[in-house]
A and B are shown apart, each in its own frame.
Chain A
Amino acid sequence: MLSPGFVLFLSAAYLGLLFAVARFGDARADAGKSIISANVYALSLAVYCTSWTFYGSVGRATSGGLSFLTIYIGPTLMLLCVGVIIKMIRISKAQRVTSIADFIASRYGKSQLLAGLVTVIAVIGVVPYIALQLKAVSASLQILFQTSGGEFLPGMIDSTFIIAALLALFTILFGTRHLDATERHEGMVAAIAFESVVKLAAFLAVGVFVTYGMFGGLSDLFQRAAAAPELARLLQMDSSRAGTWTALILLSGLAIIFLPRQFQIIVVENVDEAHLKRAVWLFPLYLVAINIFVLPLALGGLLHFQGQDFNPDTFVLTLPLARGAESLALLVFIGGLSAATGMVIVETIALSTMVCNDLVMPWLLRARWLGVGERKDLSGVLLGIRRAAIILILLLGYIYFRAAGEAYALVGIGLISFAAVAQFAPAMFGGMYWKQGTRAGAVAGLLGGFFVWLYTLLLPSFAKSGWIANGFVEQGLWGIHALKAQALFGLSGLDEISHSLWWSFLVNIGLYLLVSLYSKPDAVEAGQAERFVDIFRHGARDTDARLWRGTASVDELVSLLERFLGPFRARQQLAAYAAAQGTSDWHALPADAGFVRFAEAQLSGAIGSASARVMVASVAREEDLGLEEVLDILDEATQVRAYSRELESKSRELEAATADLREANERLRELDRMKDDFISTVTHELRTPLTSIRALSEMLHDDPKMDLVDRKRFLGIIVNEAERLTRLINQILDMAKLESGRAEWTTAEVDLGEVARETMESLGQLFREKGVTLEGEIPAQGPVVLADRDRLTQVMINLLSNAVKFVPGETGLVQVRVMANDSEVRVEVADNGPGLTVEEYNVIFEKFRQGGNTMTNKPQGTGLGLPISRQIVEYFGGNLWVESRPGAGAKFIFTVPLPASEE
């Protein structure tokens, strides 16, 4: 059944399915209905799991136990730094970054040198990794063919080559649809997400098959492994490798964002920042799932093939085949193919963009005097270059795979690749968070780190493969022991990866910091540093336009766009820009700084920021602003922002002040109105007794013959009314003093019980005259409060005389009660009078309002007693209120707080 032809047919059919998925994704994207959801984005990140994961993890587990997990824990931890990744995405979108090389170059002044350097490091570091994928496909094909006993297809070339060619075709079709590299490849992403599902399913299937089909479950497998002495050590942690463990977590954490394919998927292909929220946990969950059966598979393979010579890297395939489960083996093969092809496709797209924009374009632009420059439309050439780069990279990978064979230089390349791209970390992180980092520093750091990596990791791997003499590893370069490649300056006891990582980072970070601090950025750099580091603040491009000054012509810029983007797309973008500027015709656009920025951004998307800058500079005569002026402008921009913020807060304050004023004005008017009311009431109240005094006096004056009894009665009334008038005037004066705050207060220790007793005594005559019983329930001593004795007496007199006024004669009863709790003294004056209605309740504390019906009864007081009492009590921090029901008497209560006890 497993004839080579069938296997190849199946592979081709699977790749055909990928084409279909990708086409579907692209078609939906073109129709404006993107299928890239948060889940698809998270799954596409799993392009991280290559065939090195699919086949190689089991191999690593057979020698290192659980240490393979570090490669997946690192990314889990790195992804949690969502802020860093979102910043990368924001910057990339604002600057139209096409690749990691473009990102670094753009940050450090759109430097062609840096872009080229990063590209070279990436290509050297990653092409062998592509070769490793091809090797995995080839190895899995061989195993399937071996079992079937067949040979390679007669008369045909190597099947791996066919696969590589199909991959190149796929990548060209779906990776170079648009010229604009910042345009997303949604079809490709959809295909990658699909592949991620396939490889996970295949791996889980073989894991379950081996663990539960060939062995009696997880614990059985572990028990049998524990019984074998050479396997038992794989089950426990090895503390002596603690340093390696941490180093690998760091390394893989950096790789998840700096591998060109990861940068492509995470940053360039990102549709929506919010998708990251899903990826932050779904992708790690995927990693857990794909790793759960790795150790069981490794143990299973070691137990099953004990004593035989089997490559542990292929256990995933050979185990099911050993049991004759051919269809499962085919599924596994497809899973491995998925893992390999996914990686190859994305990596090739990312690398080809870098090679085209950052290596070929600069050369081409310099050589444009030789003829390329005269061609009208360069967009076709650009696409051609990118396609050629794809083919070239895959071909390089294939050649490397053929040349290396089983050599160590291929098998160990996974981590070596990681260590290569980790060299981007200082320049990337420094560029995103440190404005002082300069181009010179970045170049120095990258070069230094790269050479240390080359010397301590890549070249020794060549030496191990026997391609070059291994003298520099064994004895040190030129026989100097301190230069031994994997024990630099005698540093030993580390594994080769940690050793290389430590030294390369020391050199890389050290040079980056030192050179940055001792070099001066140029104007472009300073501007870019500002835009990168403060990307969250520079939401809109407020400073962009002012950082460019010079003369340009619209026609020249448009023809530049047409040459690189193609006339159709150029016009499309121009129309969109014109619409955004509020004009319908782009011919009428002014050739201002904004337009130049627009043109440069469009070109950046197509040919990278460094080349775009050179091209724009070739048609526009830019004035050199100089570092000082750029810094001034940036500073000014910061100041303008600060001023506008200040202005905002000032205007807010102003609004608040206006509102306060309005409120105060309202209050004043209200007080004014109250004063008028008060005066008219007071005049009215004063006139009543005056009128009666005057009337009676006139009668006495006019009628000298009035008899003595009447005369006496009238005079008594006059005296009473005069007294009332005096009292009224006194109280009004009192009230006015209290309200204006000019009353004089003396504060002393006052025994409230004593005050109550004295008041009751002094008013005793009044009660006895009316036949009203006065009872007191007052403690013999205290309570003592801090208050004005006379004022409190005034309150007591007020309440008691009120009470006696309203209770009925003979049966009347007034009770006075004084009690104290922890915080205050409470004084109650209760009577059995008619009580208060709800309306009265609310008004008796208002000035000149009295209880009882004022229309029918003669007013019995001035109507000022209760308001004054309340003012007094409140002055001392207490309350005065009444509890009453009609017919059930009234109870006036006031409280005065006790002085805080002194410790």
Chain B
Amino acid sequence: MKRANPMRQRLAALGLLSVPMLTYPLLSLPQGEIAGIPAPYLYLFGMWTLLIVLAAVVAERRGK
């Protein structure tokens, strides 16, 4: 029997872990502004981009 594909599992785990990071109640934490830019704006785009970068690292890693 073939073993489950580790890349798919890693990506799925990343997706699962991202759900709480991108929904309430954590979303209500960033408030006010940083360097003139609203904290929620920075948090959402920052977290989102981080997630995409991690996904890219996992997906594009050369399999051994």
Q: Which chain A residues have a beta carbon within 8 Å of chain B's beta carbons? A: 66, 69, 73, 76-78, 80-83, 86, 218-220, 222-223, 226, 235-237, 239, 242, 245-246, 249, 277-278, 280-282, 284-285, 288, 292, 295, 536, 645
Contacts and interface: CB of A to CB of B under 8 A. Distances in A.
21 contacts: A66-B40, A69-B44, A73-B48, A76-B52, A77-B18, A82-B11, A218-B36, A222-B36, A222-B41, A223-B36, A239-B24, A242-B24, A245-B23, A245-B27, A249-B19, A280-B59, A285-B49, A288-B45, A288-B48, A288-B49, A536-B2
A284 B35 contact: no
B19 to A, nearest CB: 6
Nearest to B13: A80
B45 A222 contact: no
Contact of A83 (B8, B36, B51): B8
A310 B55 CA distance: 40
Given A222-B37, A226-B33, A280-B55, A81 B15 contact: yes
A295 B41 contact: yes
A645 B1 CA distance: 9
Chain B contact residues: over half helix, strand or loop, or mixed?
helix
Given A226-B38, A235-B38, 20 more contacts: A73-B22, A76-B18, A77-B18, A81-B11, A82-B59, A219-B36, A219-B37, A226-B33, A235-B33, A237-B27, A237-B30, A237-B31, A242-B24, A249-B22, A280-B11, A281-B52, A284-B48, A284-B52, A288-B52, A645-B1
A84 to B, nearest CB: 8
9 smallest CB-CB distances across A and B, nearest first, come from A219-B36, A80-B15, A242-B24, A281-B56, A235-B38, A83-B8, A281-B55, A239-B28, A277-B59
A80 B41 contact: no
A631 B5 CA distance: 29
Given A86-B8, A236-B31, A292 B15 contact: no
A288 B55 CA distance: 14
Identify which of A219, A220, A536 gathers the most chain B CB atoms within 10 Å of its CB.
A219
A382 B6 CA distance: 44
Contacts of B30: 237
Interface of B: 1-2, 5, 7-9, 11-12, 14-15, 18-19, 22-25, 27-28, 30-31, 33, 35-38, 40-41, 44-45, 48-49, 51-53, 55-56, 59-60
Contact of A278 (B28, B36, B59): B59
A288 B5 CA distance: 28
Contacts of A645: 1
Contacts of A82: 7-8, 11-12, 59
Nearest to B47: A73
Contact of B14 (A80, A242, A295): A80
B11 to A, nearest CB: 5
A237 B28 contact: yes
B37 A80 contact: no
A199 to B, nearest CB: 19
Given A82-B11, A218-B37, A235-B38, A77 B19 contact: yes
Contact of A77 (B15, B31, B36, B45): B15
A278 B14 CA distance: 16
A236 B38 contact: yes
A246 B19 CA distance: 9
Nearest to B39: A236
Contact of B23 (A86, A235, A246, A292): A246
Contacts of B28: 237, 239, 242
A278 B60 CA distance: 7
Nearest to B31: A236
A335 B30 CA distance: 34
A13 to B, nearest CB: 35
Contacts of B7: 82, 277
Contacts of B8: 82-83, 86
A236 B40 contact: yes
Nearest to A279: B59
